[in-house]
């Protein structure tokens, strides 16, 4: 017997949980209205260990997608099953009822991860199907950090489900069940969209200003993320290690891709006025961000410090171009608000 739930290729790839949500939600009729309204703002931080993180804000773990119905199950309830084989049966039952599952596992037990039989690391995978003969179909960032599918066997699931070597695990984050909500509706509100653009331009904490009231004292928002990126490059020039900078630059380029795509969507649906020059400028932002990411990848291969200097310069140029283009974008949106 075989059962595979539908998944779409995510328009942007960031971190595992967020990307899982996009893959599931993309089948919903209101997906693009919701997606563009939720992918305006960015936030960043550099940890004391020089790990730089950039992500879209708000994160779907903080503000769940209204297009999905979701439930969280404490892990200890599943561990009460009579024997480990029942874990596989439980997953199958949930899939047969139409539920996708995001499961916290130990990468050590799954061959598709680079940490397989090397290092114990907690990670949320998406389970979206099964085959009685082959095993479970899972989705995540595997080799070369590409979001893709893999298959794990019953025994591999059981090994990965065992988190005895993970000291940081919190039981309440163990299992999430998700299902499309076909009755949900969502329409992008142009006034709110303009406000979010304003938050980005003015580096405001969107979460604090919203009903969520989250402060995030160590986070930077909107245009201030450029200062974190610039600082990260300064650390490299000082011969310090900086971690996950490649992913941060990738998310920066994904953000510029969304600027262009959202503007194109709103124009094509007659929500805002046509402006070919603006579309061209937004597309150039994405291209410039890709050049920055690729320059850094070249640095990682060659170690040439001059590439860092060039990347810093191009980053500053991108910020200046983006500020002008997004001011124009906000003006175009404002002109369309009733």
Residue 125, pLDDT > 60, answer yes
Q: What is the pLDDT of residue 212?
A: 52
In the chain, the percentage of residues whose pLDDT exceeds 90 is: 77
- 188: three-class secondary structure by DSSP: coil
Residue 82, pLDDT > 50, answer no
pLDDT tens digits along 133-177: 999 999 999 977 899 999 999 899 988 887 777 776 665 557 899
Mean pLDDT of 229-243: 97
Residues near 318 by beta carbon (within 8 Å), at least 6 away in sequence: 285, 288, 289, 292
Q: What is the pLDDT of residue 168?
A: 65
**How far is Cα 42 from Cα 53, in angstroms, rounded to an integer?**
10
Average pLDDT of the chain, as a whole number: 91
- Confidence band for 214, pLDDT divided at 50, 70 and 90: low
**How far is Cα 229 from Cα 233, in angstroms, rounded to an integer?**
6
The dihedral built from the CA positions of residue 76, 82, 83 and 85, taken in this order, carries a sign that is negative
SS3 content of the chain, % helix, strand, coil (to 5): 50, 20, 35
In the chain, the percentage of residues whose pLDDT exceeds 70 is: 91
Q: What is the pLDDT of residue 80?
A: 64
User: Tokens 């009822």 identify what position?
Assistant: 97
Tokens of 25: 């939600």
- Confidence band for 4, pLDDT divided at 50, 70 and 90: very high
Mean pLDDT of 20-36: 96
The dihedral built from the CA positions of residue 295, 296, 297 and 298, taken in this order, carries a sign that is positive
Q: What are phi and psi of 163, to 5 degrees?
A: -110, 30
């Amino acid at each position: 017997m075989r059962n595979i739930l539908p998944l779409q290729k995510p328009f942007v790839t960031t971190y595992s949980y967020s990307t899982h949500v996009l893959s599931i939600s993309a089948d919903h009729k209101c997906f693009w209205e919701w997606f563009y309204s939720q992918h305006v703002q960015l936030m960043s931080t550099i940890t004391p260990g020089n790990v730089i993180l950039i992500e879209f804000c708000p994160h779907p773990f903080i503000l769940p997608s209204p297009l999905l119905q979701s439930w969280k199950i404490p892990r200890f309830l599943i561990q009460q099953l009579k024997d480990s084989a029942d874990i596989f049966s439980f997953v199958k039952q949930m899939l047969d009822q139409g539920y996708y599952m995001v499961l916290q596992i130990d990468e050590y037990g799954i061959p598709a991860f680079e940490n397989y039989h090397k290092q114990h690391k907690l990670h949320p995978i998406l389970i979206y199907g099964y085959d009685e003969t082959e095993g479970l179909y899972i989705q995540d960032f595997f080799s070369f950090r590409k979001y893709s599918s893999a298959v794990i066997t019953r025994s591999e699931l059981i090994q990965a489900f065992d988190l005895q070597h993970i000291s940081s695990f919190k039981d309440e984050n163990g299992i999430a069940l998700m299902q499309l909500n076909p009755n949900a509706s969502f329409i992008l509100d142009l006034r709110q969209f303009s406000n979010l653009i304003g938050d980005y331009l003015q580096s405001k904490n969107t979460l604090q200003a919203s009903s969520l009231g989250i402060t995030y004292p160590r986070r930077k928002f909107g245009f201030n993320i450029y200062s974190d990126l610039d600082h990260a490059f300064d650390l490299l020039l000082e011969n310090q290690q900086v971690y996950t900078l490649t992913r941060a630059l990738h998310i920066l380029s994904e953000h510029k891709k969304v600027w262009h795509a959202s503007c194109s969507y709103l124009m094509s649906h007659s929500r805002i006025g046509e402006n070919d020059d603006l579309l061209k400028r937004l597309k150039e932002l994405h291209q410039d961000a890709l050049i920055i990411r690729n320059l850094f990848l070249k640095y990682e291969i060659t170690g040439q410090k001059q590439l860092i200097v060039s990347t810093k310069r191009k980053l500053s140029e991108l910020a200046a171009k983006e500020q002008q283009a997004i001011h124009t974008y906000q003006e175009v949106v404002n002109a369309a608000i009733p």
